[in-house]
Chain A
Amino acid sequence: MDANKIIDVKNLIKKFGDFIAVDDISFSVDKGEIFAFLGPNGAGKSTTIKILTTLLTSTSGDIRINGHNPELEPDLVRRMFGIVFQDTSLDDELTAWENMEFHGVLYDVPKKLRRERIQSLMQFVELWDRKNSLVKEFSGGMKRRLEIARGLLHHPKIIFLDEPTLGLDPQTRNHMWEYLKDLNKKEGTTIFFTTHYMEEADRIADKIAVIDHGKIIASGTSSDLKKETNTETLEDAFLSLTGNVIREESASSVDHMRTNRRMWKR
């Protein structure tokens, strides 16, 4: 086992019944690297992230997060990463500060340190003056910023970001990446993210892996991928690798529920 690899995945397979969501993938991420995990909808990105972050168990394969197996030592692994999910995961009925406090307690951050960090993180994401507002009054961008602050509260070694910039305006997006890059440089925090914005991956990631139909079909730096596919931009490289067919993603029950909720609200 290479000590420099903070995420090391070998022959990971995940099946849901007959459906193979993740089909024998292997990849690794070095300590302090910014790693982009790209793929069309339904390619297996979120499933892989869920397995890495202990939310799902794999069908087979060997995973190491900083040398530990997430299935055998879940609590140890959980302390090592922070995560910003694709959909918000804040409690709307609590205030911004209470959401942070809740997280800090769950991750055993001692009280004094917790209070200090909550203040400095919330100041950084420019939400400190809104600390006593209920989260349900926040805009999408504010929620995202709060989630990033929350994900960093326990000083994780890795931060997972599943489409963190979806629906954010360019200002917020830039601000967010500035901060994350800064964190990466200063603290050596490894960043693992997915995105559909190719120029974002091109600009920010040290290394990229492209997954499609549950298999990793290419990996390397952005210029490696462009060279390999003989294209000018990462977007073209991505399309040349994954084809032009639009993917259907079956709506999950949660999506159905969202639709219903919208209906009720009207």
Chain B
Amino acid sequence: MKIYILWLRQIKRYLRSKSRILGSLAQPLLFLLAMGYGFGSVFQKAGQGNYVNFLAPGIIGMSIIFTSVFTGIEIIWDRQFGFLKEMMVAPMSRLNIMIGRTMGGATVATMQGVIVLLLSMLFGFHPYSFIGVLFTIPVMFLVALLFTALGTMIASLLDDMQGFQLIMNFLIMPLFFLSGALFPLEGLPKVMSIITKLDPLSYGVDAFRYLLINSSHYGIGLDITILSIITGFFLLLGGYFFKKIQI
């Protein structure tokens, strides 16, 4: 019940901020349209098929990573507006606060991912099968959970929003660009290939591709295993750092 109300709070906040929903849809759509159609013919000529189809799962991954890291980092706002104190003096464990918030944030990011998926279908994306689309949703949630926990961890270590830009440019952007969201993982230079293997988002995007366009680099089994392990690890770490927050 307590975890539920924390979750509900996140959902209400999300649904009320219409401008935020619209704002966070603009970027993925721009990527999908400009790159999808801009590089489409080059991609086709290289014998890789339809670039919009290839790109859409990557763009879903993009909207999820941005939204979920951001909802995690929102703890900083909660601290600034004092609401974190209200939660911290309530008779519930720090771990449950962190779980409730993370679930809420991950749900929000999943909703955002679903919206991007539906929109991309309007703009020419053809998923392989309906079942695949359905199974994508829990995988979206898993990826969202991973990055919300990461956001929580970062927020627990930061004192204020000053560091936010730094995190965006040196962590989130690289995680996105080096994930294979924009390019195929086959035939990469050695260093690049190693880097993409270290990026958790790679496995998320790869799993989306498996389920949505029936093409996968690592294989869905490996994707889900690695995502689950990292999510578990980040949740533990996030919980640990969250406990250490002093107000």
A interface residues, Cβ below 8 angstroms from B? 50, 53-56, 74-76, 78-79, 81, 83, 85, 87-94, 98, 101-103, 105-108, 253-254, 256-258, 260-261
Contact = CB atoms under 8 A, between A and B. Distances in A.
Contacts of A53: 89
14 contacts: A55-B89, A74-B91, A75-B93, A83-B89, A89-B81, A89-B82, A89-B85, A90-B83, A93-B12, A93-B17, A101-B5, A106-B91, A106-B92, A254-B80
Given A85-B82, A89-B85, A98-B9, 18 more contacts: A53-B89, A55-B88, A55-B247, A56-B247, A75-B92, A75-B93, A78-B89, A89-B81, A89-B86, A90-B81, A90-B82, A90-B83, A94-B13, A102-B5, A102-B9, A105-B5, A254-B80, A258-B80
A105 B93 CA distance: 14
A257 B75 CA distance: 13
Given A50-B247, A88-B82, A108-B91, A260 B160 contact: yes
A101 B80 CA distance: 22
B117 to A, nearest CB: 26
Interface of B: 1-2, 5, 9, 12-13, 16-17, 76, 79-93, 159-162, 246-247
A98 B12 contact: yes
B83 A91 contact: yes
A74 to B, nearest CB: 8
| Interface residue SS majority, chain B | helix
Contacts of A93: 12-13, 16-17
Contacts of B90: 78, 103, 106-107
B92 A257 contact: no
Contacts of A257: 76, 80, 160-161
Contacts of A83: 89
A256 B85 CA distance: 18
Contacts of B246: 55-56
A106 B76 CA distance: 21
